[in-house]
A and B are shown apart, each in its own frame.
Chain A
Amino acid sequence: MRYLLQRIGQFIIVFVVVTFVVMCATRIGSKDVVRDLAGGTVGDEVIAKVEADYPYLDKPLVIQYGYWLKDMVTGNMGYSYAQSQSVIDMFQQRLPSTFFIGFWSIFLGLLIAVPLGIYSAYRRDGPVDRVASYSSFAFISTPPLVFAVFLLYFVALKIDTFPVLSNYIAPWDSPVEHFKNFFLPSLTLGLGLAAVWTRFLRADMILTLQSDFIMLARAKGMSPRRILYRHALRSSILSLITSVALQLSGLVGGAVIAEQFFGLAGIGTRLVFAVQQNDILVIQAITAVLVVVVVFVNLVVDLLYAVVDPRIRHARALG
């Protein structure tokens, strides 16, 4: 329990620092914050409205931050005057796209990495291992941008099934269309992730496979599949999960590029636009949400440790 409190404390500090810095950054070089907030060149009524809604814009930065924080905590994420849309509505509209890109990228990455990593460790230095090793090194070096271009060229343009520009279609509306639209963007990011995780899992599994309990499982006459997936993987899965969490912040950047490239209307494209316009509240809101998500995922990973490893579970329960 004390452990949980410690983590929450850390999270609060990180959240405050990051969002505060971002807020200050949005003010850099800006001649008139009110105008920025109002969306640039707008009529006086809009300016007046903005000034009425946000009367504290001439106060010191820390005070401004305080108001913003209060708003966030009470659920008021603000309003984008430039786009005439409340921030919450914006999230509702665009979050699913970004979420699914992230989700499917991780899914694809794991789908490829887990069997490949395990098999590479099992048949070490075999043909599969060598091929996987070289390709994963190459894939790690490939920027998402390059993946996107090649996928677009060799898949979308040559095969008609996949659209060049993707749209958001909910999976519950039409699974097939959803798949077609999200496959290429997710693959763009997923391949890079798969490469990292394959190497990681392979290294970890090789160590695990040298353990005594694997030898016992072998002596019990257990089949290789059972040993690999039920005994060895159980041990290596923890570090894999940690790696997933670590890759998350990089995934954010990748998602922005994938969205931009494949034309998906997600949070990433909105953010780029917001920076252009200095749509302050949008920028701050998106950053805040991102920080929360990343920290949340890290926390989940940490809790998963206790789920997977009974030794950690008992140690934590004791204190």
Chain B
Amino acid sequence: MMTFLKKIRRLHPTTLFASLWLGALTFLAIFAPVLPFVRGYGERVKGAGRFKFGPGADFLFGSDALGRDMFARCVYGAQISLRVAASSIIVGLLIGGSLGLAAGYLRGWIDRVVSILVDILLAFPALIISILIVGRFDVLQANNEAFGWLTRTWSITFVLSLLSIAPIARIVRAQTLSLSQREFVLAARSLGAKNGRVIFREILPNLIPAMTSVVFTGIAILLVSEGGLAFLGYSIKPPSPSWGLLVSENRERLQEAWWATIFPCIMLFVTVLAFNIIGDRVARRFDIREAAL
């Protein structure tokens, strides 16, 4: 326990802050339904409509046009945004990571194919593809019985995962390439270890620092993307309170009811910042170079 506290004290204050914020946010997001001070995100409180309440004791972040608690909406917004971003990055990691690993380790034609694929994926204008696919999937879901399950949640996760694949593949490939040249890999192979074994026991463990950094920074980027998409109306449908949606909902009333827009903005900003800080610290701690990019 004592050594743990000592380690905490040695942390850079920003890292500490970032971790605390993310910890608190995650806690709130997970336990929101059972927390007494968090109302339901759709719950309309009588007399609180038309932005009656500014930030105060009862409504921490004020109330919105329909009398809903902004704080609750922000908390549930965290739940939604984090869930989507985290799942997307994991899918991206699985697919992009495997591609990068294969390309970097096996090289040869596999590397060339993967590299061309990655380059093409990166050439797609991200936003256009995102809204296009989400839009089309909407139509698909509406028109086609078989796709009834294709809610916005699935669409968004699909799109964000797709967009993560290429950058992740690139980073993993670069890391794998440099790791493959290192002595311990050569040593393992000279001892007759088969490829699979080398990959799992030598390369993968050493990829973990880079992967951790990528995950954190990636979530930050995806949160930004999701926020932008929600603002344009292409994320989870209302009344689900994605942060971007909250901003777009209440933007008109910025002058009088600033709390309804500013607080979701702050939430988005601080959360993205926190993820970026941690991602950056991990990268620096393990000296991961972004030379690949």
Name A residues whose Cβ lies closer than 8 Å to a Cβ of B. 13-14, 17-18, 21-22, 25-26, 28-31, 137-138, 140-146, 149-150, 152-153, 157, 249-250, 252-253, 256-257, 260-261, 271-272, 275-276, 278, 283, 286-287, 290-291, 294
Contact = CB atoms under 8 A, between A and B. Distances in A.
A142 B127 contact: no
A143 B126 CA distance: 15
Contact of B231 (A142, A157, A260, A278): A260
A253 B140 contact: no
B261 interface: yes
A-B pairs with the 9 shortest C-beta distances? A29-B140, A253-B127, A28-B136, A143-B224, A29-B139, A141-B273, A275-B135, A141-B276, A146-B265
Interface in B119-158: 119-120, 123-129, 131-133, 135-144, 147
B261 A29 contact: no
A271 B130 CA distance: 12
A259 to B, nearest CB: 10
Contacts of B277: 137
A172 to B, nearest CB: 30
Given A141-B272, A149-B262, A260-B232, 17 more contacts: A13-B120, A14-B120, A18-B120, A29-B144, A30-B136, A141-B273, A145-B224, A150-B265, A249-B125, A252-B126, A256-B232, A257-B228, A275-B132, A275-B135, A278-B136, A278-B139, A294-B123
23 contacts: A17-B120, A22-B128, A25-B132, A28-B137, A28-B139, A29-B138, A29-B143, A30-B139, A30-B143, A137-B277, A145-B224, A149-B251, A149-B254, A149-B262, A150-B262, A252-B125, A252-B128, A256-B232, A271-B128, A278-B139, A287-B125, A290-B128, A291-B125
B269 interface: yes
B258 interface: yes
A261 B231 CA distance: 9
A140 B258 CA distance: 24
Nearest to A275: B135
Contact of A137 (B125, B139, B255, B276): B276
Contact of A287 (B128, B139, B251): B128
Contacts of A271: 128, 131
A287 B130 CA distance: 12
A65 B133 CA distance: 19
Contact of B132 (A26, A144, A291): A26
Interface residues of B, number: 48
Interface of B: 119-120, 123-129, 131-133, 135-144, 147, 220, 223-225, 227-228, 231-233, 244, 247, 251, 254-255, 258, 261-262, 265, 268-269, 272-273, 276-277, 280
Contact of A145 (B135, B247, B262): B247
Nearest to B230: A145
B247 to A, nearest CB: 6
Given A145-B231, A152-B254, A22 B272 contact: no
B269 A141 contact: yes
Contact of B128 (A14, A143, A261, A286): A286
Contacts of B232: 256-257, 260, 272
B265 A149 contact: yes
A276 B135 contact: yes
Given A14-B120, A29-B141, A249-B125, A141 B220 contact: yes
A29 B224 CA distance: 28
A120 B276 CA distance: 22
A144 B228 contact: yes
A299 to B, nearest CB: 14
Nearest to A142: B269
B268 A145 contact: yes
Given A141-B269, A146-B265, A149-B261, A291 B123 contact: yes
Nearest to A21: B124
A252 B127 contact: yes
A153 B139 contact: no
A111 to B, nearest CB: 24
Nearest to B124: A18
